[in-house]
Amino acid sequence: MFRFLAIAVFVVCTLAGCSHNYHWSKSHPLYKKAPYGKLAVAGTNEAFVLTRSAWFAKKLGWNPDSIQLKATAFCEQVFLDEMRRAYPHFVSIPEQNFNHFPEESQKLDSRIFMKGRLPEQGVTVKDSAGEIQPYILIIHEFIVGTDLKRETYFDYALIHNESTDKKTSTHISAIVSYTLWDNEKQRPLFSAVDEVQRPITKPTPEDLEALVRSAVKQIRINLYGGVS
Amino acid sequence: MNRGLSILLFALSLIIFSGSAFAQKEYFNSHPALWKDADILIWSLDKEPAIDPKEFCLSLKRNNSGIGEPKCRLQGEWMRDTVAMRYASWLNANMDPALKAEYLRARHPAMQAKFQALEDQIVLFIAKNGSVVNVAWFDETASEPKSAGTIPLSPDKVSMGDEIANMFFDGTPKRRLSKEERKKMMTEPDEYFQEVPVFKMWAGLGMGYSQAQIPLTPDNWYSSHVNSQVRNYRITKDSVSLWNFIDDSDPYFTFYVGATWYDFIGLELSYHYAKHHMKTDPKDTVYQELDHWDFHQHEIGLSAMLSRNYKPLSWMDITPFLFVGFQYSFFVESIELNDDVKTPSKAYKARIKFEDAYKGALVGFGSHFIFLKHYGLGLRTGISSRGRNTYVDPSPDAAAESTIIGGSTIDWFIGAGLEYHLNLF
């Protein structure tokens, strides 16, 4: 009996000690109000990445040579459309107004670092009409694949672990890292890494579309939830 | 009426007083190094800075008498630099009581490089922001403000300078290092992580006390030796220990030099002196002819030591050690008859003789307490023994031979010494 208890205590301690409690988001102390009605998005032109493209090509019946281009353009378009539906005053920041900023790392947690472009301190980003949008949602990375786990992409201790090749996949998934940028005061209001999973029945372009839509929904929920 | 007016005036003055006392607001202050004769660079966004550099220097001197002769000027280089001015305007917009220093960090590498190149100059960011003036203190150690706060804007530059001086410049100023000293400081390892010296030497002068009885051991192990007395110049119950003949509990004086390698293994050479009285039986009338009968004990020992260095404070080292070694002991007789005795007794002539030299071992432990790297206090305790000098092959009639006097003389000692330590390599 005592031996069993000792083993149980040991197992519990080991599990509790080993499992790292990740913080997947970080709010600025002055993030008081989530954007409502008005939002700009930047970085979508280079954020989308499709993994397991051969698998997707086969399942969706798209040409394997152009699947990467086609799928990322498709996802970007769905993403922008979904955003446009959610925010009446929606603006997409043109590439040339944003992509010259260098990539920097942002720390969310002792082990989670995300990489992405952030505008310089003291420099406001203008949209194509030359206007200054108060909030810019910067999408750093939008990874689409199957059964993705965000810790394998963002925990630097796990980054070099090779994942086993799986024959069967249960979910199509998306991992999004993004920053809500205060364009007037040039500070990151809210940064997060989100993971969205969607069970596979028979993969279709509609599934992919639904995945991106649920990612947008998740981002919007988190933008509200992150207000400090 | 008069009374009402005075109450009103009092209330008014209270409001004004409390207003001025709480108007200045410190967001955070990590108390950065304040230098004597500091170079203070005023970094402002405004065409007309809120303070006057010359007047600010006078404010500093009025506020803190220890500050010496500070020099204040505008940080012109940064005020003509795009990256610096972008950060400055960003900082001015972002300074807020809710934000800690890390939220105000400069992200641009060129800006960070500017901070690192400041050496020991202090940059004071002063910028108007509506009805207040933002103040932030930067130095070379970080690319974020070390202290920050606001004061209400007023057209009086002298009083503004006074308020800033009062808010941030209250610390005790430190002497500024010369260029060479700074260079040396940069290459020096942190004092707590210094390399272990290869070879360390010391010399010490000390005194202590020794006795036959080892603490925490029963009295009856020693009582026959300690209580024994010498009759007729040579008769004792037992002669195996010298403590049967001479007093065992006496002070001793010692001089020693030693060295350690890597604060770990060492050698120590010591000289030890003590004076012991002969324990003559007072009832024995034969001693009436004696003025005194003493033995001077001289010992030379060499011991190996193992030690370890601890540094609880930057100015103090504690080095506990264990030692084990051997020693040669010489007992030099000092005997004198009373002046009126012409010829000594027969027993005097046939009195007891000790061996020329005894060889023994010593073992113990102790610790050096070294202050300011050189001045040490050494404490030690241990057990030492004295036995026969040379090993002689046992002869067939060994059993018939008389035992060597003092062949097994053991004592316990405790002592302290003042030391001087030297790091040679």
Q: What is the pLDDT along chain B (425 residues), one digit of tens a residue?
A: 456 556 655 555 544 444 444 577 899 999 998 999 999 999 998 888 899 999 999 999 999 988 999 999 999 999 999 999 999 999 999 999 999 999 999 999 999 999 999 988 999 999 999 999 999 999 998 999 999 999 999 999 999 999 999 999 988 899 988 888 888 888 877 766 666 778 999 999 999 999 999 999 999 999 889 999 999 888 888 888 899 999 999 999 999 999 999 889 999 999 999 999 999 988 888 888 999 999 999 999 999 999 999 988 888 999 999 999 999 999 999 999 998 888 888 889 889 888 889 999 999 999 999 999 899 999 999 999 998 755 566 666 666 556 678 888 999 999 999 999 998 77
Strand B199-211 with B409-423, pairing: antiparallel
Beta carbons of B87 and A122 less than 8 Å apart: yes
Calculated CA dihedral for residues B135, B140, B143, B144, nearest 10 degrees: -30
Beta carbons of B86 and A185 less than 8 Å apart: no
| Residues of chain B with C-beta less than 8 angstroms from the C-beta of A28 | 103
Beta carbons of B107 and A120 less than 8 Å apart: yes
| Residues of chain A with C-beta less than 8 angstroms from the C-beta of B94 | 185-187
Q: Which among B86, B88, B94 is the nearest to A187, CB-wise?
A: B94
Beta carbons of B86 and A104 less than 8 Å apart: no
- Beta-ladder partners of B122: B40
Domain with CATH 2.40.160.20 in chain B: 196-423
Nearest residue of B to residue A101 by CA position?
A: B108
As for the ipTM of the complex, it is 0.85
Residue A183 tokens, joined: 């364009």
Distance CA A45, CA A66 (A): 17
- Structural domain B196-423, CATH architecture: Beta Barrel (2.40)
| Residues of chain B with C-beta less than 8 angstroms from the C-beta of A185 | 90, 93-94
Predicted TM-score of the model (pTM): 0.63
